[in-house]
Structure 1
Amino acid sequence: MSLEMLEKLEAKVQMAVDTISLLQMEVEELKEKNDALASEAQELRAGRETLEQDNAKMRNDHQAWQERVRNLLGKMDSVE
């Protein structure tokens, strides 16, 4: 093999090594972003569950108050 061919081969190998290194860094960045997004998604799910529980409690409280008001109105009607 000639020296020129070896130099071309060396350049191609170096370019391949550089590309692999860049791709590995990109993969690591994407893994970090994925982990951050997964964590954010978990927090959002937990927040949604809390809101759903609060909503259910408020609906129950609302129904209880409505029942109390109906009972009081019924008592007022029976007094008249």
Structure 2
Amino acid sequence: MSFELLTQLEAKVATTLDSLEILRMEMDELKEENVALKNEKLAWETRLGQLLGKFSELEPSTATTATETKDQDQDDEQNEEGNEQYQEDDLQENDLKESDLQEDDLLDLDSIN
């Protein structure tokens, strides 16, 4: 083996060691980043759990309010339908009275003639 080959081998080993050291530093940085992301994820999960807890506390009263609103809407619709029917009945009754009056007027006219 010549001196030249040993020098080339030494250079390759040095390059490999440098690359290995760089990869180790990158790996350490990624591990730190991974820990930070896990902590952040845990914090978000905690916040989300708290929010869901608040929503579940509100849910029964919201459901009651929604049911009451729905019942009130149904009552309003029924009242409107009843009012419309009453108005229709009233109009029909007025029409009948008018037609009776017109017949009475015609009979009075016939009796005069």
Q: How does the TM-score come out when normalised to structure 2? A: 0.55
Bigger Rg, structure 1 or 2: 2
Let me know the Cα RMSD of the aligned residues.
Answer: 1.9
Report the residue type matching 2:5 in the other structure.
M
1:15, 1:63 → 2: CA distance?
Answer: 69
Q: Which residue of 2 aligns with 1:12?
A: 12
Runs of 4+ in 1 over 6 A off after TM superposition: none
* CA deviation profile, 1:54-78 (whole Å, cap 9, x unmatched): 00111234346x3xx79xxxxxxxx
Q: Which runs of 5+ in 2 are unaligned?
A: 70-113
1:63, 1:7 → 2: CA distance?
Answer: 81
How many percent identity over aligned positions? 33
Q: Which residue of 2 aligns with 1:48?
A: 48
Q: Which runs of 5+ in 1 are unaligned?
A: 71-80
Aligned residues: 68
